[in-house]
Amino acid sequence: KQRDPNQPEFLQAVEEVFGSLQPFLAKNPKYTQMGLLERIVEPERVIMFRVSWVDDKGQVQVNRGYRVQMNSAIGPYKGGLRFHPTVNLGVLKFLAFEQVFKNALTTLPMGGGKGGSDFDPKGKSDGEVMRFCQAFMSELYRHIGADTDVPAGDIGVGGREIGFLYGQYKKLSNEVTSVLTGKGLVYGGSLIRPEATGYGAVYFADNMLKTRGDSMAGKRVVISGSGNVAQYTAEKAIQLGAKVLTVSDSNGFVLFPDSGMTEAQLAALIELKEVRRERVSVYAKEQGLQYFEGKKPWGVACDVAFPSATQNELDENDAKELLKNGCFCVSEGANMPSTLGAVDEFVKAKILYAPGKAANAGGVATSGLEMSQNAIRLSWTREEVDARLFGIMQNIHENCVANGKEGDFVNYVNGANIAGFKKVADAMLAQGVV
């Protein structure tokens, strides 16, 4: 706290993990030796750089670029790039810290990292986004590589941005390697990668529901966000027979009728967000749906909630409201969407609550599968990748249950933190003080 007083999100993420590790560490003191805990919160390397580019008016713009290389104990750094005006070092350190444990949970050999910029893609032309991505990669390329650090997408970085970043990396390095994931299908991408985070979050919820003899079928579902994760959470939920009642953006939320969003409405949402890059208020108008400006969807009665927008979007009061209205399952598509107060409420109420590092690990897991396919220079079918994703989510669920069981209740927060920590910590201890 003394070292990073201005990084509240990072401190929050560390507090959550260390809080749930306390009893485990008391029983396993070897993990408090060799400066392990002090080392695990300190990034192995942080790169910060100037990104200057020229906008459509011929004006020079300057943004700040970052890559946090947090931990490589179990594999090359792996984690997304975020382009959003709220990006700063503290936010990226929280994301990189979470990523370390999440990647360990996937069972694949990936370390943790995160990066991005305070660049805001909203309202920028394709040309501006391309020039920014090229300028960003002109510096980043010397710090990453298929065997050292493999970035992917996150908020504000989707297929379009990955394409521009990859093109520039290839030009500068003269190498066609698996240096980014989330690539387009025609140049080394994997089937199911765009869908993976959302699908994985729904598979995880379904696994949790199964522990109570239940399933997603017929459930009333509330989703926040309308980006990559939200879209494919909605798709899988609909496929499994659930009723999707909301989507949102940072301006407000859209309410669907009790029968839920239809497949045609989802297709229209994806077109609106990914092709026209419009707001959900426009979507509501076009679809004749109710829209609530300035509101979050947590007041809508539901069985299952998928927070899929951003960090700290769901606070203690929102959690109480969800519980009061009958919500008994929360599967986090976003990273740390619930505040510490909200997490407390969910755990106290003993509902099925899965933190992002478990529930949204399907995205990075499928990125790992993209790296594997690139390495063997083969592409697996949609069915094969989806089956592997399904198996990985099931495995993460079992691992959380094994490490988080408290009598009849499964504390998925403790389960995920302990399982992820053990693997990384064992690797760090084995490799000495480095």
In the chain, the amino acid numbered 16 is: E
Is 78 marked as binding a ligand?
yes
DSSP-derived letter for residue 147 is T
Tokens 């360990």, residue?
A: 104
Q: Which residues bind ligand NDP (CB under 6 A)?
A: 84, 86, 153-156, 158, 197, 225-230, 249-251, 308-310, 313, 333-335, 360, 363
Please name which of 410, 397, 301 lies closest in space to residue 351, comparing C-alpha atoms: 410
Q: List % helix, strand, coil for the chain (3-state, nearest 5).
A: 50, 20, 35
Is 248 marked as binding a ligand?
no
Q: Rounded to the nearest whole angstrom, what is the least distance from the CB of residue 177 to ligand NDP in the complex?
A: 21
In the chain, the amino acid numbered 83 is: F
Is there a catalytic annotation at residue 171? no
Show the tokens assigned to 397: 């669920």
Pick the catalytic residue from 93, 114, 273, 357: 114
User: Using CA atoms, how far apart are residues 203 and 239, in angstroms rounded to an integer?
Assistant: 11
Is 184 marked as binding a ligand?
no
Per residue in 208-234, is it b (16+ CB within 10 Å) or e — as a string?
Answer: bbeeeebebeebbbbbbbbbbbbbbbb
Is 367 marked as binding a ligand?
yes
Is 35 or 85 the residue whose CB approaches ligand NDP more closely? 85
Q: Cα torsion at 331, 253, 87, 2 (round to 10°)? A: -60
DSSP H helices in 211-351: 228-239, 263-274, 280-287, 316-324, 340-348
Q: Rounded to the nearest whole angstrom, what is the least distance from the CB of residue 15 to ligand NDP in the complex?
A: 19
Is 197 marked as binding a ligand?
yes
Is 295 marked as binding a ligand?
no
Q: Are 100 and 422 in contact (CB under 8 A)?
A: no
Q: Rounded to the nearest whole angstrom, what is the least distance from the CB of residue 250 to ligand NDP in the complex?
A: 3
Please name which of 94, 103, 36 lies closest in space to residue 76, comparing C-alpha atoms: 103
DSSP-derived letter for residue 107 is T
CA angle 335, 357, 360 (to 5 degrees): 75
SS3 at position 76 = coil
In the sheet that holds 220-223, the strands lie side by side as 290-293, 252-255, 243-249, 220-223, 304-306, 329-331, 352-354
The residue at minimum Cβ distance from ligand NDP is 227
Is 99 marked as binding a ligand?
yes
Q: Rounded to the nearest whole angstrom, what is the least distance from the CB of residue 151 to ligand NDP in the complex?
A: 12
Q: Rounded to the nearest whole angstrom, what is the least distance from the CB of residue 426 to ligand NDP in the complex?
A: 25
Q: Are 274 and 264 in contact (CB under 8 A)?
A: no
Q: Rounded to the nearest whole angstrom, what is the least distance from the CB of residue 335 to ligand NDP in the complex?
A: 4
Q: Rounded to the nearest whole angstrom, what is the least distance from the CB of residue 81 to ligand NDP in the complex?
A: 10
Is 78 or 84 the residue whose CB approaches ligand NDP more closely? 84
Residue list for the binding site for substrate: 78, 99, 102, 153, 367
Q: Which residues are catalytic?
A: 114
Residue list for the binding site: 78, 99, 102, 153, 197, 228, 367
Residue list for the binding site for NAD(+): 197, 228
